[in-house]
Amino acid sequence: MPGPGVFDFLIVGGGLAAAAAVDGIREVDADSTIALITDESEPPYQRPPLSKEFLQYPDVPRSLLYVKPEGWFEEQERVELVTGQKVLVLDPVTMTVTTARGNVFRAPRILIATGGRARQLDVPGHDLEGVYTLRTVEDSEAIREAAIGGSRSVLVGAGFVGMELAASLTAHGVASTVVESQKRVWPRMLPPDLSRWMRAHYEGKGVSFRLDSSIDRFAGRQRVEEVEVGAELLPCDLVVVGVGMDPCDGIARDAGLAVADGIRVDTFGETSHPHIYAAGDVARFPDPVFGGHTRVEHWEHAREHGRLVGRNMAGERVPYELLSYFFSRVFDLSLNAVGRPALADETVFWGEPGEGPCAAFGLSKGRLCAVVLLDAPAELEAGRALVRARVSAELLYDAAGRDLVSLRDLADSATEYRDRDPETGDSNE
């Protein structure tokens, strides 16, 4: 077995959080040595285009997805990018990691930024050809190829993978049926009334839904040909299962770190071991707005958390306080969401969906828990401020009735409101 490669910092995982952590470390410490170890064959790349532009256009090269310009890692003198090596063991006593090829790396500070893997559906036929999940660039390329030769798809789950793929596959001329176990579409991302509107918008584009339904089996001789949903058989050329992801937290659990659906970290990104950190999709961190611990699977969170934890590993001690947002683009709509739309039991609209800039306010027990913006990206910061203030239904009804020029006006009133309310800032869930 080769001797350990010794570095100042080890980063396990090669996604956006890992790449951002390299930047974070460098911002504080220009001279340290860093190794980034990923099991993928590519340097860190952006995943959002995998369900959007990359999937829609046949000739997009992989290098356009790279987080850093092509060749960036090779040009760095003290950053080593190790591709195609899965870390199997993390030893918190010797502060080493061992890869599947038997290579050992050691450092006094280790970051785990291993993200997640797409969840499989455990029903008969899940291993037939033509049944895909989507997490990697290879997955996206395979789905794109199947879409080019196909005409009908079944998408399992009306979350972001199912909803974005329905839009992207429509662009390929592939008709989609989306099967969702809950009673409404995009339940984690949209408050109830916007969810209803979105379903109708999709149906207007030719997408069909089977809500409150589950998959009994995938059928076909070698390749999937149909999907059984209750008494119905849906013929198809391809299936994409988008039922969420599981965090890749196995090495942390085996190392004895605190793990519960993700690696538990404090507000600085430190795990239950003082010199081992976690960031991005895999980390369960203290929620700065809603209280408790949470895990976020969004691009902005991966970038900002990775960077901040990188800085903290290199000697800073800055708490993570961002209320991150999720973005999407489906058909002709842009979406930006902050907060927790899934908690909403009520929706208040500012503007009309599909009629120019619009905001849907999600309320939970009379308090704002989420803002979802349609075609209104400029209102993002105001939306964040409103959710942070957890403003009341009263204020929002008042706003909906007024002819506001921008959400900024409302956010300003919310700040006044918050200043008057001694309870705001407490988690009320």
Ligand X SMILES: Cc1cc2nc3c(=O)[nH]c(=O)nc-3n(C[C@H](O)[C@H](O)[C@H](O)COP(=O)(O)OP(=O)(O)OC[C@H]3O[C@@H](n4cnc5c(N)ncnc54)[C@H](O)[C@@H]3O)c2cc1C
Tell me the closest approach of the beta carbon of residue 238 to ligand X, in angstroms.
Answer: 16
Cβ distance to ligand X smaller for residue 348 or 373: 373
Task: Give the span between the Cα atoms of 231 and 258, in whole angstroms.
Answer: 44
**Span of 15-23, 184-192, 378-386, 414-422 interacting with ligand X by CB under 6 A:** 15-23
Q: Quick one: 100 or 233, whose CB is closer to ligand X?
A: 100
User: Per CB under 6 A, does 304 bind ligand X?
Assistant: no
By CB under 6 A, tell whether 299 contacts ligand X.
yes
CA distance linking residue 343 with residue 359, whole number of Å: 17
Q: Which stretch binds ligand X (CB under 6 A): 8-16, 223-231, 403-411, 417-425?
A: 8-16
CB of 136 to ligand X, least distance (A): 7
Q: Which residue, 14 or 351, is less far from ligand X as judged by CB? A: 14
Residue from 17, 155, 368, 396 touching ligand X (CB under 6 A): that is 17
Instruction: Measure the CA–CA gap between 220 and 129, rounded to whole angstroms.
Output: 9
From the list 12-20, 177-185, 208-216, 405-413, the region that binds ligand X by CB under 6 A is 12-20
Q: Which is nearer to ligand X, 251 or 344 (CB)?
A: 251
The C-alpha atoms of residue 15 and residue 267 are separated, in whole angstroms, by 21
Kindly indicate which of the ranges 109-117, 186-194, 223-231, 379-387 contains the residues binding ligand X, using the contact rule CB under 6 A.
Answer: 109-117
Select 85 or 347, whichever has its Cβ closest to ligand X: 85
Task: Using CB under 6 A, pick the residue from 12, 314, 348, 414 that binds ligand X.
Answer: 12
Cα distances (angstroms) measured from residue 113 to each of 134, 184, 185: 19, 32, 30
Which range, of 322-330, 350-358, 392-400, 406-414, touches ligand X by CB under 6 A?
322-330
CA 322/CA 265 separation, integer angstroms: 15
Verify binding: residue 115, ligand X, rule CB under 6 A: yes
Q: Could you tell me the smallest distance in angstroms from the CB atom of residue 172 to ligand X?
A: 16
Cβ neighbour number for residue 132 with a 10 Å cutoff: 19
CB of 337 to ligand X, least distance (A): 9
Residue of the chain from 7, 9, 47, 197 that contacts ligand X (CB under 6 A):
47
Q: Which stretch binds ligand X (CB under 6 A): 23-31, 46-54, 374-382, 414-422?
A: 46-54
Residue closer to ligand X by CB (options 139, 226) is 139
Residue number with CB closer to ligand X (18 or 395): 18
Q: Which of 62, 78, 106, 135 binds ligand X (CB under 6 A)?
A: 135
Binding positions for ligand X, 156-185, rule CB under 6 A: none
- Considering only residues 201 to 260 of the shown chain, the ones binding ligand X according to CB under 6 A are 248, 251
Binding status of residue 39 toward ligand X by CB under 6 A: yes
Contact between 353 and ligand X by CB under 6 A: the answer reads no
In this structure, are residues 249 and 259 in contact, taking their beta carbons and an 8 Å threshold? Answer: yes
The residues near 418 (Cβ < 8 Å, ≥ 6 apart) are 389, 391, 424, 425
Measure the CA angle with vertex 373, ends 417 and 188; round to 5°: 95
Nearest CA to 105 out of 202, 211, 5, 196 is that of: 5
Q: Which residues bind ligand X (CB under 6 A)?
A: 12-18, 37-40, 47-48, 50-51, 86-87, 113-116, 134-135, 248, 251, 280-281, 297-300, 302, 326-328
